[in-house]
Every structure is written in C-alpha cells, then in structure tokens.
C-alpha cells in the first residue's frame, strides 16, 4: 500500500512570542557588551550585525521537527521527525532530522462528514501537545487550521 502524503506540520523549539522575548533579552546583553556609543547610527549598525551574525529569524530557523500527515488505506496517520541533537537551543545550527515514528493514527472505515473527520484530526493534533516529545515544543497548527476545514476528507480517503 502506498502512502499518500498531504501535509507537513512544523514543530518549533518555542512559540513566536517566547522566541521574541528570548531575542530581546539576548539583544540587551549583547548591546551592553558591544555598544559604546548610544547614538542612532551605532544602534542601527549593531542591530543589523546582531540580526546577521548573532540571531536568526524564528520562521524555519527554529524548527526542531515535523509531523507528516498521510493517507494509508483508510487511515489518516501522522509520522514525526525530530532533530538528533541532545540539547535544543535557540542557537542550534547544524540539524539532522530522523524519523521517530508514528505520532497518531485514525481509522476512518466508513464515510462520515468532512467536518467530523477534521475534528477528529484536530483532537489528535491537540492531544500531541501534552505528550512527549512534543510537550515543551510548539506545534505550529495555524496554517493547517486555516486550510483543513475546506479539504474534502472523504475524497482524499477514497469514499
């Protein structure tokens, strides 16, 4: 049986808000360490160097894993990948991802409404947030929740 992949959900080390707070703290420490003149030009130059050398944007750079959603027969499954690094930090640069296994599995063995299928998937994804290894990570479901209500789940499953 062939897997039919249809969506990838990123897992971040921190939420965007937490990341921004960590950035401000780190920025303040580095500013005290390196900025001697507090004029506008010096601060702009430091911020540019900080963003280029010491800090990276949150989106994509802070990804520590993925959940791949796919159809396998009449099941909707999620497999997850995580970085191999033992310590995950804001400054993690070299990443190698490995397949860790099944995140969840839903058997949809008869045609039910697309809304019910979507709600069951949503429940499974929400439950992952309280389980290891996802517990202290940020599963970014925002884009999935924007598009998922409009998917023809029965058609995807072959009903």
- Tens of pLDDT along 39-83? 888 888 888 888 888 788 888 888 999 999 999 999 999 999 998
DSSP 119: H
Q: State pTM to two decimals.
A: 0.81
Contact 77, 4 (CB under 8 A): no
Whole-angstrom Cα distance, residue 76 to residue 158?
A: 12
What is the biggest distance separating any 2 CA atoms in the chain, rounded to whole angstroms? 69
Residue 101 φ/ψ region, left for φ over 0, alpha for ψ in the -120 to 50 degree band, beta for the rest: left
Mean pLDDT (10-residue bins), the chain, 159 residues: 92 91 89 78 85 83 93 95 74 80 93 94 95 92 96 91
Phi first, then psi: what are they for 83, rounded to 5°?
Answer: -65, 150
The span from the first CA to the last CA of the chain, in angstroms, equals: 17
């Amino acid at each position: 049986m062939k897997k039919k992949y249809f969506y990838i959900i990123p897992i971040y080390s921190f939420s965007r808000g937490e990341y921004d707070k960590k950035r401000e703290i780190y920025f303040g420490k580095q500013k005290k360490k390196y900025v001697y003149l507090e004029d506008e030009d010096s601060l702009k130059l430091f911020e540019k160097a900080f963003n280029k050398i010491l800090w990276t944007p949150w989106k994509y750079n802070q990804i520590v894993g993925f959940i791949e959603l796919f159809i396998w027969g009449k099941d909707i499954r999620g497999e997850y990948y995580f970085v191999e690094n033992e310590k995950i930090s804001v400054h993690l640069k070299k990443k190698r991802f490995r397949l860790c296994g099944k995140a969840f599995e839903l058997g949809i063995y008869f045609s039910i409404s697309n809304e019910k299928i979507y709600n069951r998937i949503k429940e499974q994804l929400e439950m992952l947030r309280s389980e290891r290894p996802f517990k202290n990570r940020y599963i970014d479901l925002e884009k999935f929740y924007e598009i998922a209500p409009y998917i023809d789940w029965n058609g995807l499953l072959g009903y």
